[in-house]
Amino acid sequence: MKSIETHFLGPTDRRGSRLVASDGESNRITIPYPGELDTEAAHTKAAEALKAKMGWGGDLLCGSTRTGYSFVFVTNRIAGALDALEVLRLIIENGEHRFNENNGWYPTLVVNLYERGKAALDRARA
C-alpha cells in the first residue's frame, strides 16, 4: 500500500514557505505553502498534488506525525467500514425508536439511512 508523507519547509532568502510531499521512493513534489488554508488542509493539498502528478486514484486518510502529516489511500473496504460506522453513530446520537411488529424495536434512522448503510456495508464486504 502506498503512503504519502508531507512536511513543512520554512522560508529562505529566495523562497517562501513550502510543503513537500513524497512517497518515500523517488516521487516528490514541492508546492508553495497555501497560507489561506489551515495546517491540515495545506498538507492535504500537497498530498493531493503528488497524487495528481502520479495519476493515482482514491481518497486519502490523514494523520499527523512529529514532522508533518502522513496520508494513506482508503480502500473500498475501509471506506465502507467508515461509512457504516458513521451510520451507526448517527443512529446512536438520534436515539429515536419505534416499534414494528415484524422487526421489533429499531432506530427510525435506519429507515432513512437504509440505502446509505447498505451501500457502505456492501463496500466493506468487497
| Bridge partners for 28 per DSSP | 22
- Identify whether residues 69 and 80 lie together within a single domain: no
Please tell me the predicted confidence (pLDDT) of residue 97: 47
Contact 96, 107 (CB under 8 A): yes
Residues 68 and 96 reside in one and the same domain? no
Per-residue pLDDT tens for 12-48? 999 999 999 999 899 999 999 999 999 999 999 999 9
Give one DSSP letter per residue of 87-123, joined into a string: HHHHHHHH--EEEETTTEEEETHHHHHHHHHHHHHHH
When divided into structural domains, the chain yields a total of 2
Closest C-alpha among 119, 121, 124, 116 to residue 76: 124
0.75 surpassed by pTM? no
List the domain range (segments joined by +) for residue 19: 3-74
Please name the residues in contact with 119: beta carbons below 8 A apart, sequence gap of 6 or more.
80, 83
Q: Has residue 76 got a pLDDT over 80?
A: no
Q: Has residue 54 got a pLDDT over 80?
A: yes
